[in-house]
Amino acid sequence: MSAQPLKVGIVQHSNSDDLTSNIQKTEQGIREAASKGAKLVVLQELHRSLYFCQSEETNIFDLAEPIPGPSTDFYGQLAKELNVVIVTSLFEKRATGLYHNTAVVLESDGSIAGKYRKMHIPDDPGFYEKFYFTPGDIGFTPIQTSVGKLGVLVCWDQWFPEAARLMAMAGAEILIYPTAIGWDPRDDKAEQIRQRDAWTISQRAHAIANGVPVISVNRVGHESDPSNQSDGILFWGNSFVAGPQGEMLLHASENEEQTMVVELDQARSESVRRIWPYLRDRRIDHYQDLSKIYRD
């Protein structure tokens, strides 16, 4: 693991149906993070558009784009200009009728360092992602960059300890989760707090169990349901960076657009893993049933 400190930037913002405005917000956030010294900038899930999975509409597939394509060209040029590594989240058109929810990492020289296709695809009220996205087929493979080996996952993946573990076992030095998650506005405050806390606790637990930092970047603002079947989604922000013991290093607002930068002491992962050697003590000779859906 790298022993060098690393400044990380996160860009949390609201979205509208104006793609140009969304891109300008994202670009402004990246530039602000870079001006504060960030060498790694992480964006929220599907930052180019509204979160369109609240309903099932075939015309939405027009938003998808190839990789490489316009967005990777744009963010690649920005990465090169600012000398930063950027983690983006795109609606990938792989072929006609075949689409993925894909995170792409742009190296500081503008090249594509690698990509990750979202593996766990939800299908819940307001989150009809199975209509749009084919599950990923790349697997849980970290992406090597100039700032380290990045274990990039996406949103719903963040609830699964298996995904975090497999990334860590493959050498990921940081776990990264571009995210789009929020409340049903009809939920009472107590339920909202339980959901938000579960989300935060789950990811901080991945940091602890694997001895690596976690970066999770969410959006903010209310987005209406185009089908009018619900009250839409109130995205809860709370983007954060946690250290290898789950300690909060950075915590964004619940409702404000924010660009924030924090320094990671990556040498801490080495020292934490020495005192909490979970990888050493795993009993892989007794984990065979984890490959089953359920033990009947």
Q: What's at 44, amino acid-wise?
A: Q
Question: Two tokens at 3?
Answer: 């022993």
Q: Considering the candidates 45, 92, 129, 173, report the single residue annotated as catalytic.
A: 45
User: What whole-number distance in Å separates Cα of residue 22 and Cα of residue 55?
Assistant: 20
* 284 exposure class (CB count in 10 Å sphere: 0-12, 13-18, 19+): exposed
Provide the pairing of β-strand 214-217 with 240-242: antiparallel
From the candidates 25, 155, 173, 223, which is the catalytic residue?
155
The Cα 38–Cα 259 span in angstroms is 11
In the annotation, is 118 catalytic? Answer: yes
Contact 232, 223 (CB under 8 A): yes
Distance CA 101, CA 90 (A): 6
Catalytic-residue membership of 155: yes
53 in catalytic set: no
Spatial separation of the C-alpha atoms in residues 121 and 283, rounded to whole Å: 29
State the CB neighbour count (10 A cutoff) for residue 241.
Answer: 27
What order do you get walking across the sheet with 258-264 strand by strand? Answer: 112-117, 98-106, 85-95, 40-43, 6-12, 258-264
Strand locations in 65-209, DSSP E?
85-95, 98-106, 112-117, 123-124, 127-128, 143-145, 148-152, 174-178, 182-183
Provide CB contacts within 8 A for 269, sequence distance 6+: 1, 173, 211, 212, 213, 244
Active-site entry in 118, 149, 173, 223: 118
> What is the set of active-site residues?
45, 118, 155
